[in-house]
Structure 1
Amino acid sequence: MKKPPQHAFQAHPWHGVSPGEDAPATLTAYIELVPTDAVKYELDKETGILRLDRPQLFSSQCPSPYGFIPQTFCGPLVARRAAERTGRKEIRGDGDPMDICVLTEKVITSGNLLVHAVPIGGFRMIDGDEADDKIIAVLESDLAYGEIQHMVQAPVAMVNRLKHYFLTYKQIPGEGKRKVEIAEVYDRPEALEVIRRSMKDYQSLYGKGPTGTLRSARRKR
């Protein structure tokens, strides 16, 4: 039986897509959610297909496109950094790809797409005893956000909305307060360090993946 061509199969967004030749300075991000989504979508790790994680029962919508960085993993190195910066010893990685929010003035109507993004900082979020960092980035060449290079340059209202979302979207009335906190808001240099560690955590667990990038794909057009 003739073997089908390799391009006949869609790449797995986590394992089959490169974070980019210039990562972490400039990277490829996979977007799962956009601000208009009334339900929470999440990548099914086994199949690489978006699945419905849960309906948003309460008024909780992420104010920016939100997803993860391919070929990253929140493991021991990410957890160790969180422990060093917070002074806590009992912290472990959450076992997921590194989360990322991408600020843009454009209206993106649906997820399940790749974008080129530039990290500007992040939130050191601790969920129970797990490191659950959120990288904040801007869409490359975005008219409104593209010149931002550091967290202090980001609109305060947007940063506060992101904080509120991540501190509340897992809270369910009547089930007790979930222990989630943002222990630190960090700038671009620390964001790059966190991403590097997550890339090393991924390689330790899964090995090195493909190296093709969104940037190189654009050059070939």
Structure 2
Amino acid sequence: MIPNFKAHPWHGISAGEKAPEVVNVFVEIVPTDTIKYEVDKETGYLKVDRPQKFSNIIPALYGFIPRTYCEDEVKNLAVETGAKEVTEGDHDPLDICVLSSHNITSGNILMEAIPIGGFQMIDKGEADDKIIAVLVEDQVYGHIRDISELPKAEVNRLLHYFLSYKNLPTEPAKVKIDLVYGADHARKVIVASQKDYTDNFAK
């Protein structure tokens, strides 16, 4: 008899046999969502985190890489590449955006993606990297292997979202992005987050 259980999307699924070149992604939010969903760390179920405050709609599929964590290794990598005022990782799985030409209408799904770069985001002193990836075999984006191959407007659209999605009009900016990096560094961030995961959850 097959046991009736659901694997925890953070702890019960691997980052992928080919990680960091190709990674598993658990998608929490899709571009049509006006609610920010987030995996509940205790139960593994998708929960409502908050309604989107304004017209900030995520321009790509958004989720995390299983069995990753952002703590000392991710923070140290940010410091090594010149990040200022960063004191720790954000204590969450590594975030990832996946570009696809397909209209995927709901989250709570798994997919394979190829990391092509990322943003070194600092959120109130915490290293909160955002990996940018493309859906494996996507007809429009699937051939891209580095963020430098994307149109600048696509990169700017993603940058604008992350620089503004937490802000109220009357408040100063809460986050900063000092570095847009390519595929080579993205893979280093993924490996660092896997090491942080092992150090914290696989002892």
**TM-score, with structure 1 as normaliser:** 0.89
Q: Indicate if the aligned counterparts of 1:104 and 1:144 stay in contact, CA closer than 8 A.
A: yes
Secondary structure (helix, strand or coil) at the match of 1:192 reads helix
Which residue matches 2:73? 77
* 1:203 pairs with 2:198: yes
Aligned mate of 1:42, from 38, 41, 44: 38
* CA distance in structure 2 between the partners assigned to 1:36 and 1:150 by the alignment: 26
Give the Cα–Cα distance (whole angstroms) in 1 for the partners of residues 86 and 159 of structure 2.
23
Find the partner of 1:183 among 172, 178, 182.
Answer: 178
| Cα distance in structure 2, aligned partners of 1:88 and 1:171 | 21
- Contact 2:89–2:127, Cα closer than 8 Å, also in 1: yes
**Shift, 1:88, TM fit:** 3.1
CA contact (8 A) 2:118 2:181 kept: yes
Task: Please state how far the C-alpha of 1:87 moved relative to its aligned partner.
Answer: 4.9
1:23 corresponds to 2:19: yes
- Residues 168-211 of structure 1 show CA distances to partners (whole Å, capped at 9, x for unaligned) of 0001234x213311110000000000000000100111118xxx
- The 1:135–1:50 alpha-carbon spacing in structure 2 relative to 1, beyond 3 Å, is same
- 2:83 and 2:62 mapped to 1: Cα distance? 28
Q: Deviations over 1:140-181 (max 9, x none)?
A: 01000000001110122221111000000001234x213311
What aligned pairs does 1:36-115 form with structure 2 within 5 A after superposition? 36-88=32-84, 90-115=86-111
Following superposition, the deviation at residue 84 of structure 1 comes to 1.2
Amino acid at match of 1:106: H
Once residues 111 and 87 of structure 1 are traced to their aligned partners in structure 2, the CA distance between those partners, rounded to angstroms, is 32
Number of residue pairs matched by the alignment: 203
Greater Rg by CA: 1
1:89 deviates by 6.1
Task: State the alpha-carbon separation in 1 of the partners of residues 47 and 76 from structure 2.
Answer: 31
Deviations 1:92-148 (A, max 9, x none): 100000000000000000000001000000000011100000000000010000000
Unaligned 5+ residue runs, structure 2?
A: none
Report the CA distance shift for 1:179/1:62 in structure 2 as closer, same or farther (over 3 A): same
CA contact (8 A) 2:69 2:193 kept: yes
Cα deviation per residue 1:55-100 (whole Å; 9 max; x = unaligned)?
A: 1121000000000000000010000011111253642100000000
Identity of aligned residues (%): 53
The two structures, once aligned, show a CA RMSD in angstroms of 1.3
The corresponding residue for 1:215 is none
- CA 1:89/1:129 → structure 2, altered by over 3 Å: closer, same or farther? closer
Segments of 5+ residues of structure 1 without an aligned counterpart are 209-221
